[in-house]
Amino acid sequence: MKCILMNQNKEVLVVEYNETSKFFDRIYEVKDINYAPYILKSFYNEKDIDNPLFKTNLSEWFKGRGIPAWRDKLDLLLHRFNITAPYELLDKAFGLSLSDQYWLKPYDSNILYDDINFFEHDFDYAEFMEASLSLNSKLITKESSLKTPNNTTDGMLKKAWIIENGTRYLLKGGYKNDVLQPFNEILASEICKRLGFSHAEYTIDTYKDMVVSKCPCFICKDTELITCSQIQSDMKRHDSIEDYEEYIKKLEEHHIENAREKVENMYILDFLIMNEDRHLNNFGIIRDVNTLKWLDVAPIFDNGQSLNMEYYDEDEVHISGNGRMFYEVKPFDEIIEVVRNLKRIDISKLDGVVEWFDELLHKYQYLTKMSDGRIDKLCILLNRQIDKLKELIDDGD
Give the separation between CA 380 and CA 386, rounded to whole angstroms. 10
Question: Which DSSP letter does residue 125 get?
Answer: -
Q: How many domains does the chain have?
A: 1
Q: Give per-residue pLDDT as tens, 350-359.
A: 999 999 999 9
The answer to whether position 293 is within a domain reads yes
CATH of the domain at 386: 1.10.1070.20
What single-letter amino acid sits at 8? Answer: Q
CA angle 86-30-53, nearest 5°? 55
Domain for residue 130, yes or no?
A: no
CA distance 379 to 356: 10
> What secondary structure letter does DSSP report for 65?
T
Quick check: is 39 in a domain?
no
The answer as to whether 345 is a domain residue is: yes
Q: Is residue 375 part of a domain?
A: yes
133 within a domain of the structure (yes/no): no
- Tens-digit pLDDT string for the chain (397 aa): 999 999 999 999 999 999 888 899 999 999 999 999 999 988 998 889 989 999 999 999 999 888 877 777 777 777 777 778 777 778 788 999 999 999 999 999 999 999 999 999 999 988 888 877 776 666 666 666 678 898 888 887 788 999 999 999 999 988 767 899 999 999 999 999 999 999 999 999 998 888 999 999 999 999 999 999 999 998 999 999 999 999 999 999 999 999 999 999 999 999 999 999 999 999 999 999 999 999 999 999 999 999 987 667 666 676 767 999 999 999 999 999 999 999 999 999 999 999 999 999 999 999 999 999 999 999 999 999 999 999 999 986 5
- Model pTM? 0.93
pLDDT for 118-150, tens place per residue?
999 999 988 888 877 776 666 666 666 678 898
- What is the domain range of residue 298? 223-395
Element of type H or E holding 376: helix 372-395
Q: Tell whether 338 is covered by a domain.
A: yes
